[in-house]
Amino acid sequence: MSDAARLPLRLFGLAAGELPPFDLEVAPGEVVAISGASGSGKSRLLRALADLDPHEGRVLLGEAAADAMPAHVWRRRVMLVPAESQWWHDAVGAHFEAEPFDDLEVLGLPRDALGWSVGRLSSGEKQRLALIRALSRDPGALLLDEPTANLDDESVERVESWLLQRIRGRGLPTLWVAHDRAQIERVADLQLRIGPGGAELVR
């Protein structure tokens, strides 16, 4: 869906859960890190952007508003990758529409990982495969909920640089929920802090 690429993600008066309404524009290829204590509503914010929970306010990708298209079309463009990925077929490959061999290699997974059964995946393998699965569907914007939570240091580095390369290369506006200060330093252009007073943008 190259027509959806290189467009900004724009939020107007978005209010999810207890979070007071706020505006935000994420430019193509820009990463906004979302930080805040657990339970502050970071995941709920991402769910609202993917239109998985009822919410106030408008979200647009470029000029196209979420409510102007069927919800599944919106979610394919503005793709949420949850902290815990789910796998419902027996074979890993059955969850993929394409065969993203290059991405597997970059993230340190063998080519035949697509032939594996889901039961033998470790949590780190699941996390990497879930990111590849989402990006291989060619979204126009990314919502990442702690994308490196289950990974060892070496894999964290690989995944970060692979993600940044994709985000910049395809011009994907990205919201990235992160706990680790060092990671925020490494990947984020801007930081959205969620506190008791609401969402606050920090440069």
Q: Which residues bind another protein (CB under 8 A)?
A: 50-54, 67, 70-73, 75-77, 79-82, 84-86, 88, 133-134, 137
Closest CB to another protein among 28 and 82? 82
Which 3-state string (H, E, C) describes 104-132?
HHHCCCCHHHHHCEHHHCCHHHHHHHHHH
Strand 174-177 vs strand 141-145: parallel, antiparallel, or unpaired? parallel
Q: Please state the closest distance from residue 144 (CB atom) to another protein, in A.
A: 12
Q: Please state the closest distance from residue 38 (CB atom) to another protein, in A.
A: 18
Q: Please state the closest distance from residue 44 (CB atom) to another protein, in A.
A: 13
Q: Please state the closest distance from residue 195 (CB atom) to another protein, in A.
A: 27
How many other C-beta atoms can be found within 10 angstroms of the C-beta atom of residue 169? Answer: 10
Distance CA 196, CA 109 (A): 41
Closest CB to another protein among 10 and 55? 55
Closest CB to another protein among 87 and 116? 87
First CA to last CA distance, the chain: 31
Closest CB to another protein among 49 and 159? 49
Q: Please state the closest distance from residue 146 (CB atom) to another protein, in A.
A: 15
Closest CB to another protein among 79 and 188? 79
46-72 b/e (C-beta count within 10 Å ≥ 16 → b): bbbbbbeeebebebbbbebebeeeeee
